[in-house]
Every structure is written in structure tokens, then in C-alpha cells.
Amino acid sequence: MYIGIDLGGTNIAAGVVSKDGKIIKTDSRPTLSERPYQEIIKDMAELCLKLLEECDLKVSDLDGIGIGSPGTIDSTNGVVVYSNNLKWDNVPICDELKKYIDVPIRIENDANAAAYGEYIVNGDNVDSFVAITLGTGVGGGVIINKNIYRGFNGAGGELGHITLVHNGEHCTCGNDGCWEAYASVTALIRQTKKAIEENPDSLLAKEAEKEGKVSGRTSFNAAKEGDTIAEKVVDQYIKYVADGITSIINIFQPNILVIGGGISKEGDRLLVPIKEYVKKHSYCKAVAQTEIKIATLMNDAGIIGAAFASAQ
Amino acid sequence: MYIGIDLGGTNIAAGVVSKDGKIIKTDSRPTLSERPYQEIIKDMAELCLKLLEECDLKVSDLDGIGIGSPGTIDSTNGVVVYSNNLKWDNVPICDELKKYIDVPIRIENDANAAAYGEYIVNGDNVDSFVAITLGTGVGGGVIINKNIYRGFNGAGGELGHITLVHNGEHCTCGNDGCWEAYASVTALIRQTKKAIEENPDSLLAKEAEKEGKVSGRTSFNAAKEGDTIAEKVVDQYIKYVADGITSIINIFQPNILVIGGGISKEGDRLLVPIKEYVKKHSYCKAVAQTEIKIATLMNDAGIIGAAFASAQ
């Protein structure tokens, strides 16, 4: 039995996970990230112990704890090297948590953990697998030879920060033109707002008014109702997403690539044109092609992936 | 002792390579690629046997032959699945060559072989290593866990065909905006010609006239003489190169990345601004950084890499 912890800037989510990848029970509490890290990690420990108790388990039943954390991670030494979200700098998270629960503890970057969770559940045990997450940013994780790929310094797999437009839109990372600056939910909202400004009488503008704000769903919803302005926004957004996916496939040619994050709930409206775009634009057409599919785990991916990463 | 063969659309180059990565002797002959593949492969065999004889070696002294070939390669079955350069379609190259020389024979994509050659000689035995080649196109090869990374279908590592400009310049691969369409020698020549057209009285234009044509060196040469037009071309070209390298580092975070191909002969004029660009624009600054350097083997990389790939 494992525990997986998905440590976020807002919430700490944790779950007891069985060896066959099933979540037995989950719970969460606010991170309150302004506190000293010792307090946050103490809360993580209490959350784990509470979960164990509620599942009638003892610490000795645990094979390990895995933590998925935002930021740059040193998995070897169990340290959060740097996290912008948590405002952490060289926090020895594994040693600190071990003070409360003495089992093997491992930490992974959260995007890597989520990718690994999708791999465990949807990866068919293939050699190479890529997961991308279309959320506030664009996250990614790469599995090679059935293991998480981290690069030599633990910072690899930042798929959202490949360039899509040289000298393009400014990205939160400081660079210009990153894929994330075009394919994230944040980018889609910006693209939708621009279309509304240019077309204030459109059905798209009315949809935004009805929703009370512009979200990642606004354009997709208005497009479903046949609004041509919204359709243009959605089509162009999907091209941005698909162009980045094409680059990733040209590099990795993974057996499987899954698309997760909030936008992935749009299902075939997203998936079908992405597949068409990749088929038309990818470099190698004479060979077997990567299977592209929608992720299924959503928020549980991080917990399951962290849990299983602890067994790596 | 190995033999490495670098099979190109124009020439077949082969070399006897010792187990410590030294080239003992090389030779080449024209590919004459319009011929039936059986004739080309017979020539490859004759070239190998001639090399052995000249080195006072017998077939029984050979541990293996490795072939680097352009196109999509099925290394497992020893087949060139498709090569545009050679106009080959499912050619069983290893079986055919084995008819003449019965030793273990292995085939690799030529860019992968060249990358592996650089890795063997300049890779310091690190876990992760990327080589890019700025030539007629932009080639690349990735070494992960000390092995060539091929993807599930053998077609991985097409680093030149990541997008640099969404909907940008048309690429020979059929897609638009590939890195290759901005960072290859072909692209630099196009960029130089455009600057000459716009500035017919520049020193750059005179340099091209002196050379009798526009080459990958024209702008670099005129820039060395202080021409500001040429400096602008070179600076922008290097930004295109460096932006793609930044993407690749954000993905792989390899221990080492080497830059080869004709343009790499420009040395520090290329390398220093690339390092500065990557340092400023890459995603993770809080961790150890990839070592970026100029490749040293040039044309021998393909022969050495193919030779050592035969031992993989």
C-alpha cells in the first residue's frame, strides 16, 4: 500500500493507493503556503496518518510515500530545489516528513508525477509515453523505458516551454513565444477575450456575459451553438495545441501521448482535429504512428503517480 | 575492430574503427543512388573488404559493421523503411550486406549514428547527450541512459522538425515553421540573399560577389569585416539556432549538447551568443546547466557512431 501526495500552492491532496493503482481513500487540506515549510510538512504528515487510520491501516502497512511537488526537484536527495508556487528554496521535504512517518519517501515534480499516474493506469506498460496537461499552464511528463525522464539535473520534461512562436507572446517563465503562452487555458482565455473585444455583438460575447466571465469553456460552448467567431477561436487554439504536440511526437515518437487538464474535457472536439493535424504535419508518415488519447484520471493522476513513483 | 559506413545520397564513406574509437583508415566511393539497391550494397561490401585488406585484417577480425543511413530506419530488422535521399522503400540492407560479409551488422539513422559518434568521443560517458547538426538541414540525435533514443517506431529524434514559428517558413518536410527552416545552412543562405537584395550596396553584397555565390559563410565573413547588415543577419540566425536549442534543453536537460555541421566551424562567434541566449531564456535556472560545446569529429562522427552502434 502506498500514499501519494499532490502538493499544490493551494491544497495538499493525499490518497491511499493500492498496488494495482486503485485509490482507496483521499483527503485534502489547504496548503496555506505562507507558513514555514516545517508546518506545511507537519500537516502533510497528519493528513497521511489520518488517512491511514480511516483505512484501518498502520504505518507498517505502508510500502512508501510519494510526493508530487511543483518546481524544480532533486529526487535523489529528496529536496525541493526551488518552487515559485510554494516560495520554497532547498527544502529537504523527504527528511522532514520522515521525522513523522518512517517509511521510504520519494519526491517528484508534480507534472512528472501526474504523467506517471496516467502511465500506470493508461500506459499499457509501453516503453515510451508522454502526458501533457492543458491547464493554467501547459505541463508535461515523459516516460522512457518505463521510467520518468528527468534529465541530468532533474529539471527535464518542461514540454510547455518549447518555443511555438519565435519572439511571440510573453510567457510567465520569462521567455517569449513558449507553447504554454498559446496552448494553456490562460492563453485560450486571452484569445477569447480578444475575439469578444473585436466582435462585441457576437454570440461569443453573449456567452461570456451569460457565464459572468470568460473561461476556458466560453469559446467551446459558443462554438457548439454555431457561432463562427467562437469556432475560429477554437480552431486556432487547437492548431496551437496540435502544433506543439507535433513537435513532441517528432522528437519522442512515443507509443502513446495523452492529453489532460481542464480543456481535455472537451473530448472529441479537441482530439479529432488534433489527430488530423498531427497526421498531416508530423515528420514520419511511413512508420507506425503514436496513439493520441484523452487522459482519464484528471486530478487523481498526481496522487497515483506520486504513489507509484515512491516504488521506482 | 569495427567498420562504420556512412551511407549518403552522394557518397558511401567507410572506415575501420578500433575499439577505443580511433579511425584506422577510411575510404569512399560514389553512391550512384539511381542504381538498384543490390548494386549499391555490393559496392558497400567491396569497400569494406578493400579496407580490411589495406589494414591487413581478415573478416574474422571484425566484431561488427554498423551503417548510418538517411531516412526512417528499422534497426531491429535491419531495414531502411523509407529514404527520400536514396529513393529506397523497405530495403533489407543488413541481410543483403551479410551475403558478402558474415558478421553482425546493424543499421542506424545517420543523424543518430553521428550523434552517437560524438557521444563516444566527446560524451564523457554521461547519461544524457544531444547532438545537433547545422547542415543542409538540421539533424539531431539523442542519447539517453547511454543508448541512442529512437522512439517506439525508430523515427524519434527529428530535432530539426520541432516548430520554431507557428505557420512560418515552409519546410522541405511539408510542414511550416520547422526549426530547420530557420537554422539550417539553407535557411542562412536564404536570409543572407534577402539582406543582399534589400542592401545591394552593402559590404555583404560585395562579399557574396567576391565568393561568386552566397554560402553559409558569406554573412559570417562580412560580419567579421564589420558590416552591420551582415552582423544583423548573423545575430538573427544565431537567435533562431539558440531558440531551438533552448527548447531542446527545456525538454531533455542533457548533461552535454554538442553543435556540429558546417556552420559549427564558426566556433566562438556561434557558441558564445548561443550560451548567453540559453542562459537567459531557458526554463530552469536554479539547477546545474547543460554544457554546450562545438562538435569535434565533423564527417568522422557518422563512421565512428555507426561502428559503435554495431556494438550496442
Domain B2-116+300-309 class, CATH top level: alpha beta
How close B138 comes to chain A (CA, Å)? 13
Contact B230, B155 (CB under 8 A): no
What residue of B is the nearest CA neighbor of A167? B165
Per the structure block, which three cell numbers stand in for A50? Answer: 489520518
Which pTM was predicted?
A: 0.93
Query: Would you state the pLDDT for residue A293?
Result: 96
Query: Would you state the pLDDT for residue B310?
Result: 77
B270-307 pLDDT tens trace:
999 999 999 999 998 888 999 999 999 877 999 999 99
Query: Would you state the pLDDT for residue A134?
Result: 94
The contacts found for A211-220 with CB under 8 angstroms, 24 or more apart, are: A214/A189, A215/A185, A215/A189, A216/A185, A216/A188, A216/A189, A216/A262, A216/A263, A218/A189, A218/A192, A219/A188, A219/A191, A219/A192, A219/A195, A220/A266, A220/A269
Go through chain B and tell me how many residues it has: 312
pLDDT band at B66 (very low <50, low <70, confident <90, very high): very high
Q: B59 pLDDT exceeds 90? A: yes
Mean pLDDT within B196-222: 97
How close B312 comes to chain A (CA, Å)? 16
How close B145 comes to chain A (CA, Å)? 10
Query: Would you state the pLDDT for residue B101?
Result: 98
Mean pLDDT within B169-174: 92
Q: Alpha helix (H) ranges present in A90-215?
A: 93-98, 110-122, 180-183, 185-198, 203-211
The shortest CB-CB distance from A163 to any of B81, B149, B243 is to B243
Instruction: Decide if B254 and A152 are in contact by the 8 Å CB cutoff.
Output: yes
Decide the pairing of beta strands B128-134 and B105-109.
unpaired
- Side by side, the strands of the sheet bearing A88-91 are A72-74, A79-83, A88-91
CB pairs under 8 A between A and B: 147
In this structure, the dihedral spanned by the alpha carbons of residues A11, A193, A134 and A83, taken in order and rounded to 10 degrees, is -50
Query: Would you state the pLDDT for residue B298?
Result: 75
How close A59 comes to chain B (CA, Å)? 34
Task: Spell out the domain ranges in chain B.
Answer: 2-116+300-309
Instruction: Decide if B252 and A158 are in contact by the 8 Å CB cutoff.
Output: no
Query: Would you state the pLDDT for residue A284?
Result: 84
Backbone φ, ψ for residue A136 (5° rounding): -50, -40
Q: At what angle do helices B185-198 and B228-252 cross, to 10 degrees?
A: 150
Per the structure block, which three cell numbers stand in for B287? Answer: 539547477
Instruction: Decide if B162 and A250 are in contact by the 8 Å CB cutoff.
Output: yes
Which is nearest to B272 in space by CA: B312, B219, B225, B235? B235
Query: In angstroms, rounded to a whole number, what is the distance separating the alpha carbons of residues A182 and A196?
Result: 17
Contact B7, B14 (CB under 8 A): no
CB contacts of B164 in chain A (<8 Å) are 163, 166
Contact A260, A114 (CB under 8 A): yes
Which residue type is seen at A246? T
Which is nearest to B116 in space by CA: B106, B40, A126? B106
The shortest CB-CB distance from A286 to any of B81, B282, B290 is to B81
B114-153 pLDDT tens trace:
999 999 998 999 999 999 999 989 999 999 999 999 999 9
Q: B312 pLDDT exceeds 90? A: no
Average predicted confidence (pLDDT) for chain B: 95
Backbone φ, ψ for residue A29 (5° rounding): -150, 160
Per the structure block, which three cell numbers stand in for A260? Answer: 489532460
CB contacts of A126 in chain B (<8 Å) are 152
Q: CA B261 → CA B216, B238, B242, B301, distances in Å?
A: 11, 14, 15, 10
Determine the residue among B80, B138, B253 to mutate to test chain A binding: the one whose Cβ has the most chain A Cβ atoms within 10 Å.
Answer: B253
What residue of B is the nearest CA neighbor of A255? B152
Which is nearest to B49 in space by CA: B40, B59, B39? B59
How close B212 comes to chain A (CA, Å)? 32
Instruction: Decide if A153 and B251 are in contact by the 8 Å CB cutoff.
Output: no
Q: Give the angle A279-A281-A286 at the CA atoms, nearest 5°.
A: 60
What residue of A is the nearest CA neighbor of B168? A165
- Higher pLDDT pick, B299 / B18: B18
Instruction: Decide if A251 and B164 are in contact by the 8 Å CB cutoff.
Output: no
Instruction: Decide if A154 and B283 are in contact by the 8 Å CB cutoff.
Output: no
Contact B180, B171 (CB under 8 A): yes
Per the structure block, which three cell numbers stand in for A18? Answer: 493500492
Which residue positions in chain A have pLDDT lower than 70?
A: none
Determine the residue among A74, A109, A153 to mutate to test chain B binding: the one whose Cβ has the most chain B Cβ atoms within 10 Å.
Answer: A153
Q: CA B67 → CA B15, B63, B132, B160, distances in Å?
A: 11, 14, 19, 22
Instruction: Decide if A151 and B240 are in contact by the 8 Å CB cutoff.
Output: no
Decide the pairing of beta strands B128-134 and B256-260.
parallel
3-state secondary structure of B103: coil
Determine the residue among A142, A144, A161 to mutate to test chain B binding: the one whose Cβ has the most chain B Cβ atoms within 10 Å.
Answer: A161
Longest dimension (CA), chain A: 64
CB contacts of A146 in chain B (<8 Å) are none
The shortest CB-CB distance from B287 to any of A153, A177, A253 is to A153
ipTM of this complex: 0.93
3-state secondary structure of B310: coil
The shortest CB-CB distance from A159 to any of B72, B145, B251 is to B251
How close A174 comes to chain B (CA, Å)? 7
Longest dimension (CA), chain B: 64
Which is nearest to A309 in space by CA: A159, A104, A130? A104
